[in-house]
With several copies, the nearest count.
Chain A
Amino acid sequence: MKLITAIIKPHKLDSVREALAEKGVVGMTVTEVKGYGRQKGHAELYRGAEYQIHFVPKVQLQIGVDDNVCDEIVELIQSTACSNAIGDGKIFVSPIEHVVRIRTGETGETAL
């Protein structure tokens, strides 16, 4: 099993969620994060002083998936989250060794 971690622009969250739901992905966990990358922050003002905000709000999705659908899902996220503008984000795929569904104690792929 794999854990897909995708960092996307916040306003893309709804379309990605819908696209994934259509593909049958029924679970994911979302975290609000801040990103630092090629897309720079912006200057802000405060009582006459200008200062730099380095981080940009992003949303991070974590999705545990079965090995054989992983690539397909990564692609779907990429295409849905892409706006061709800088700061669109990244997708990381890493291995998971073990999964448990807390409610039932089920493990492995059926637990996803």
Chain B
Amino acid sequence: MVSDLSYALDTFYFLVSGALVMWMAAGFAMLEAGLVRAKNTAEILTKNVVLFALSCVMFLLMGYSIMYPGENTGWIPNFGFGIGAENTAEAALSGAEDAPYYSMRSDFFFQVVFVATAMSIVSGAVAERMKLWTFLAFVIPMTAVIYPVQGYWHWGGGPLKELGFSDFAGSGVVHMCGAAAALAAVLQLGARKGKYNKNGSANAIPGCNLPLATLGTFILWMGWFGFNGGSELKVSDVGEANAVAQVFVNTNMAACGGAIAALLMSRAYFKKADLTMVLNGVLAGLVAITADPLSPSAEASVLIGAVGGALVFVSILMVDKFKVDDPVGAISVHGVVGIWGLIAVTFNNSEATLSAQLIGIAAIFGFVFVASSLVWFILDKTMGLRVSEEDEYDGVDISECGLEAYPEFSKR
């Protein structure tokens, strides 16, 4: 039963979780700033700050109401605006079965920071060559419509929900969604100058600041406790509290598994501990467990994360073979491993079926990929996707932001 206190506790829990997810925006910003070259750093920082701001505004204006229309209208949701009215104390304390048990505003706050996460994924993949303003133009349809529509399908009570698709905190709805939009972008955008040689081999373009990238990874790791932990949506009784605790433990253990697997793969292949792979392994572990951080045991979570970490290692090498140039590895980490996470749900959660998972994957990936390809195509024809070769060579910081990220430190 909802009491003043349980309502307060669940709301507070939501707000704390939301603040942690908001913090992930800083994580993406630092991760990406660490993995690009110095000359493209200010631009990616700008992108990360502004995409967060734009995402929040668009989701406030339209996205939230599209994603949570309150009824299942099939694949096409009702379109609406705004975020509705707050719960009254009467409604909350009515004793009714379906009385709201946390603040609507806290729900919006929690949801809105997820949207920004999905957008941040795209940001990294198109780094170092896309026009800033074009990217920002893409944020608008993505966060106002594309993300909310597929979000509605599952979390908003739409057709995927009905089908039994299961994605606890968004391996699919958030991560794979972001990766699909990123892939659509990269395919139209092309690789960075100098990434691939004429003979097809790839060159390494090392990120300029690995402490920043590591900091970003730790920030994301911490924020993920809010991301997954908050997705239980309720903490206020023994069962729910136990569930949230299980989610925290599993989230952490999967990250650990991912890190160790990526490290061992790196040792096996290169005899070295490639830090960038370890960081990707952490993130892969986190993405993998996100689809179901509740059902597995802590030990199983280590394994799910470890498979994610191994997968990301292989995937990054493969993606390079296909000349898909993804400077931060976003497509592998969030896309490939997101799919793995969705499939892994079926191992521990008896209510999930493989077919429902596959349908969900196909629906989300297909829709987001096609819809964003279309948007990117239009943007290409109007604003243009790519900076000029000269601007790319000099760094997009100068051409897009007019400043340098590290003006005093000399560069190679």
Contacts and interface: CB of A to CB of B under 8 A. Distances in A.
Direct contact of A and B (CB under 8 A): yes
Interface string B123-163: 00000000000000000000000000000000000000000
A49 interface: yes
Interface string B192-219: 0000000000111111000000000000
A109 interface: no
Nearest to B276: A47
Contact of B206 (A10, A11, A42, A46): A46
Interface string B398-409: 100111100100
A50 interface: yes
Contact of B410 (A32, A44, A47, A48): A32
Contacts of A45: 204, 266, 270, 272, 274, 401-403
A32 B412 CA distance: 7
Interface residues of B, number: 29
Interface in A26-55: 32, 42-51
A29 to B, nearest CB: 14
A17 to B, nearest CB: 14
Given A11-B393, A32-B410, A32-B412, A49 B398 contact: no
Nearest to A30: B412
A57 interface: yes
Contact of A44 (B317, B329, B403): B403
Contacts of B393: 11
A50 B411 CA distance: 21
Given A11-B393, A32-B412, A57-B411, A47 B277 contact: yes
Contacts of A10: 412
B313 interface: yes
A59 to B, nearest CB: 9
Nearest to B201: A49
B280 interface: yes
Contacts of A43: 402
A47 B329 contact: yes
Nearest to A33: B410
Nearest to A55: B412
Nearest to B206: A46
B107 interface: no
Contact of B204 (A11, A42, A51, A57): A51
A16 B410 CA distance: 21
Interface in B362-412: 393, 398, 401-404, 407, 410-412
A49 B411 contact: no
Given A11-B393, A32-B412, A57-B411, A48 B398 contact: no
A61 B316 CA distance: 36
Nearest to B271: A45
Contacts of A47: 204, 274, 276-277, 280, 316, 329
B410 to A, nearest CB: 6
A66 to B, nearest CB: 29
Interface in B305-345: 313, 316-317, 320, 329
A48 B277 contact: yes
Nearest to A11: B393
A83 to B, nearest CB: 11
Nearest to A10: B412
A84 to B, nearest CB: 14
Interface string B337-358: 0000000000000000000000
B29 to A, nearest CB: 19
A44 B42 CA distance: 13
CB-based closest 4 A-B pairs: A45-B402, A46-B204, A49-B204, A51-B204
Given A32-B411, A45-B401, A48-B313, 4 more contacts: A32-B412, A46-B276, A46-B403, A48-B320
Interface of A: 10-11, 32, 42-51, 57
14 contacts: A11-B393, A32-B410, A44-B204, A44-B398, A44-B404, A45-B270, A45-B272, A46-B204, A46-B205, A47-B316, A50-B270, A51-B203, A51-B204, A57-B411
